[in-house]
Amino acid sequence: MTENHTIAFLFPGQGSQAVGMGKELSEHHPIARQTFEEADEALGYKLSQICFEGPEEKLRMTEVTQPAILTASIAAWRVLNAKGVKPEFVAGHSLGEYSAHVAAGTISFADAVRTVRHRGQYMQEAVPVGVGAMAAILGMDLDLVSAACSDAAEGEVCEPANINSPEQIVISGHAGAVERATKLADERGAKRAKVLPVSAPFHCSLMKPAQERLAADLQGLNFQKPTVDVACNVDAALVNTGERGRDALIRQVTGSVKWYQSMHLLLAEGVQVFVELGPGKVLCGLMRQIDRSKHCFNVSDEASLHKTLEHCAVKA
């Protein structure tokens, strides 16, 4: 890798899961297989089997999805790391911020796996099913989306939850308010506005009970100084101490995921190459909407690993 190619590793969040994720890397790389074994041991059940074989409905359960994506992401990261590819920065989308902190050495993998299982459980239990909703608003400016949320709230919660790219903002809150905001966005010129099939209204103030429960768990964990700067979701700022890392993960539960702003921060830091580690290519897709001139690779199987290594001029 030439010196002027600053690399950032990106880690996906919930929604990127797929049956079979991590299986091929585990078959070819002992370090990936070992990662899944560590997760199985930390959780006390065969997470690896659910990742590799399904069933899909089990993998979609939030308290399973979260440790599953984290494990597949860390397996991919460890394989790439063993090949000598190192980042200058790391960032993760929502749940992915935990993977980023594992990669930065802030928290141990076993602690992260157990914590995100509870995180999934707390988020699921914070709001009864059917009370909350989320919707994607496409092709509408953040100020206009925020205005639609305010106008639709009518005393209920309705807030921007994921600011993913200039093209895509996800809103979250009470089901009625989110539906009203979706209609308003449609009327006010959004390219598309649709309610999403999610199990809970993530990243809004309805998640306060989950945030309080998770804060207690995170306070009990050992957070080290990250070895590389972590771009955190909630502030779109670089975190370089363990305490700031912990605080950002706590506030992230009810706060917006400022992904677009976080990527702009990394671009301003001179990042030229982004590598998405784990299942899917959601974050590479968002990067195309944010800045098409930058290279974005992903590592989820052998073919994508070799393509990334080829670009990074490291022999597999």
**Of 198, 229, 251, which closes a domain?**
198
3, pLDDT greater than 70: no
Q: For residues 95 and 67, what is the distance between their CA atoms, to the nearest angstrom?
A: 9
Element (H, E) at 300: none
Same domain, 35 and 175: no
**H helices present in 12-108, as ranges:** 23-28, 30-43, 47-53, 56-59, 62-82, 96-103
Distances (CA, A) of 162 to 149, 233, 242: 13, 9, 24
Residues 231 and 266: beta-carbon distance below 8 Å: yes
**Residue pLDDT, tens place only, 168-198:** 999 999 999 999 999 999 999 999 999 998 8
Do 173 and 280 fall into the same domain?
A: no
Same domain, 228 and 275: yes
How much is the pLDDT for 5?
83
Spatial contact of 8 and 92, defined as CB atoms under 8 Å apart: no
**Quick check: is 70 in a domain?**
yes
pLDDT tens string 219-243: 999 999 999 999 999 999 999 999 9
Q: 316 pLDDT exceeds 50?
A: no
Residues 61-87: pLDDT tens digits?
999 999 999 999 999 999 999 999 999
Please check whether residues 168 and 147 belong to one and the same domain: yes
Q: Are residues 283 and 225 in the same domain?
A: yes
Mean pLDDT across the chain? 95
* Beta strands, E only, the chain: 6-11, 89-92, 132-138, 158-165, 168-174, 192-195, 229-232, 237-239, 271-277, 295-299
Residue that is last in its domain, among 172, 198, 224: 198
- Is residue 213 in a domain? yes
| 97 and 236 fall within a common domain | yes
Are residues 238 and 195 in contact, defined by beta-carbon separation less than 8 angstroms? no
- DSSP-based helix, strand, coil % in the chain, nearest 5: 50, 20, 35
Residue 29 DSSP one-character state? -
Q: What is the length of the chain?
A: 316
The confidence score (pLDDT) of residue 117 equals 97
Full residue range of the structural domain in which residue 263 is found = 6-126+206-311
The model's pLDDT over 259-304, given as tens digits with 9 standing for 90+, comes to: 999 999 999 999 999 999 999 999 999 999 999 999 999 999 999 9
Q: Is residue 1 part of a domain?
A: no
Q: Which residues are catalytic?
A: 94, 203
Q: What CATH number does residue 145 fall under?
A: 3.30.70.250
The verdict on 220 and 299 lying in the same domain is: yes
Are residues 192 and 92 part of one domain?
Answer: no
Q: Give the number of domains in the chain.
A: 2
Q: Is residue 23 part of a domain?
A: yes
Q: Which of 173, 198, 223 is where one domain is finished?
A: 198
pLDDT digits (tens, 9 = 90+) for 191-214: 999 999 888 999 999 999 999 999
Q: Let me know whether 54 and 119 are in one domain.
A: yes
- Let me know: does 89 contact 271? Beta carbons within 8 Å: yes
Same domain? 45 vs 166: no
CATH number for 292: 3.40.366.10
316 within a domain of the structure (yes/no): no
Please give the pLDDT value at position 315: 38
Q: pLDDT digits over 93-146, tens only? A: 999 999 999 999 999 999 999 999 999 999 999 999 899 999 999 999 999 999
pLDDT at position 2 is: 41
The pTM of the full predicted model, rounded to 2 decimals, is: 0.96
Residue 1 has pLDDT above 80, yes or no: no
Residues 30 and 150 in one domain: no
Q: What is the pLDDT of residue 129?
A: 87
In this structure, the answer to whether residues 98 and 122 fall within a common structural domain is: yes
